Amino acid sequence: MKIYSKKELNDFHQSLTYDDISLIPTRISRVKSRTESVTSCEFLGMNLALPIISSPMDTVTGLEMAKELTRLGCLGILNRFDSSVEEILKDENNGSQVKAVSVALNTPLEIIKDLAVHQKIICIDTANANNNEVLRKTEEIKKTSDAYIIVGNIAHGATLHQLENAGADAIRVGIGSGSVCTTSIQTGIGIGQVSSLLSVLFSREEKKLKIKVIADGGIKSPGDAAKAIALGADCVMLGRMLSGTRETPGEVIKYNGQLWKKYRGSASFGVKMRNEFIEGEETMVAYKGVVKNVIDSISDGLRSSMSYMNCLNLDELRQTETFAVLSNSSYLERLPKI
């Protein structure tokens, strides 16, 4: 069996997803227990206990989710679709508990300037960062604010230097890989998340850029999060994994004796409420209880992966160069048989 380096994965003849690869421990680990592995990191001027960011989707990150993730040492990006943004502007106490907020391309600059008084991070929430309007908006915000700027999304590293030159501090990587995203089906755009991440990361390295890389989409489990960090991502953005928790916006619905909550893509009809091109689905997910349980499971899985890979911190994990490419049968063999 061949052991692949990151460069070899990047040069692979097919587009790869998280299900196509696995991490291979090739050294005797000096980590006695997973509790020794440290998952904290610095991200855009913040010290995070875990490299987890919530997606600014209207069924994922409202005010309650953003506050709780801050308490748990993660980052919640407040969605731009409801009154939460207005609450931040009105209540300074809310602003101090929420560190990041998303805005649209057409959000007036005056509102963004007001938000930046309290928020460390502004996320320009668009589907396609490879757009002149995104560059223009980024430049506008940078001229009037000291806030860090996240833009997205991209699937390849070809334009990374232009985005950094415009003022972007972090980029969301992934097009069409979200569980309720139909962009690839509707448009034919996008590649596998592993290949997307590596393309962007190698572009950053080759051009000596400083922009942070967020793996956005396709994360189904703590193991996928570990793979994304091992590939070199600075943080991982979650949507579906956080959906259905108590802190997400929306009511808990009881149906056939089971509790559920709504989950939908940002470009779904339920969000747009207009008869126009739709690039997202709507669904129901089982109620999961408090989000702390999900964050704890991700932390435990990431620490365990680090102990296997002989890594005491995330920077060591990002230096991983031992990967396997899985056949379909090899992937299926790993799934629990119950």
Indicate which residues carry an active-site annotation: 181
- Tokens 């126009």 correspond to 276
Q: Are strands 100-103 and 75-78 parallel, antiparallel or unpaired?
A: parallel
Torsion of CA 155, 161, 163, 167, to 10 degrees: 150
Question: What residues pair up with 52 in beta bridges, in sequence order?
Answer: 236
Q: CB pairs under 8 A, 24+ apart, for 129-136?
A: 129/153, 129/154, 129/159, 129/163, 129/168, 129/171, 129/172, 130/154, 130/159, 133/105, 134/105, 134/163, 134/166, 135/162, 135/163, 135/166, 136/166
Of 7, 46, 75, 27, the C-alpha closest to 231 is 7
Of 48, 79, 75, the C-alpha closest to 61 is 79
Angle between helices 109-118 and 132-144 in degrees, nearest 10: 50
Q: What are phi and psi of 263, to 5 degrees?
A: -145, 130
